[in-house]
Structure 1
């Protein structure tokens, strides 16, 4: 599969990238979300320093990722416990 050459603008800078066509929409969306978060922090705190804004966005994104992982682990535990309960019920029935 051939790669696409695209440019993603993040914080007033353009970054050239080569991506697989199946990843293009996700990568463009990531750039859009980063820019929206930069704007939110700029408006909310009146910060103009790009490095500070990008650090805050990176921190925010990592917190979101860790929360999602924690939620997924909790769901995984619940699923495993329910499967064990069902297996026990089936074993007792047989």
Structure 2
């Protein structure tokens, strides 16, 4: 499912023939976050069913790392987009004065 989402998003971005903008980074970050959360939940569920403490610890550690990186990228993308929108407003207001 996530592979199809990435492929669809990538195909759409390529066919636009336009540079990637801040909103594109936000969308990609949310896709990454959703994929990492679902993958972590699935991996931890499988580890719990197998009953191995080591496997569960590794699944939790790896999943937490992936989710943390995805959250960091999503927050960074949102801040960058907000900064660019602020700059656009400043430039459009400054030009009218």
Deviation of 1:90 (Å): 1.0
* Unmatched 5+ stretches in structure 2: 1-40
**Per-residue displacement from partner, 1:5-56 (whole Å, max 9, x unpaired)?**
xxxxxxxxxxxxxxxxxxxxxxxxxxxxxxx88861335xx53220221111
Higher relative contact order (CA 8 A, sep 6+): 2
The structure in which a higher percent of residues are helix is: 2
- In the alignment, which of 69, 75, 80 is matched to residue 78 of structure 2? 75
After superposition, the CA RMSD in angstroms is 2.3
* Unmatched 5+ stretches in structure 1: 1-35
Larger radius of gyration, structure 1 or 2? 1
Question: How many corresponding residue pairs?
Answer: 57
Segments ≥4 residues shifted beyond 3 Å: 36-39
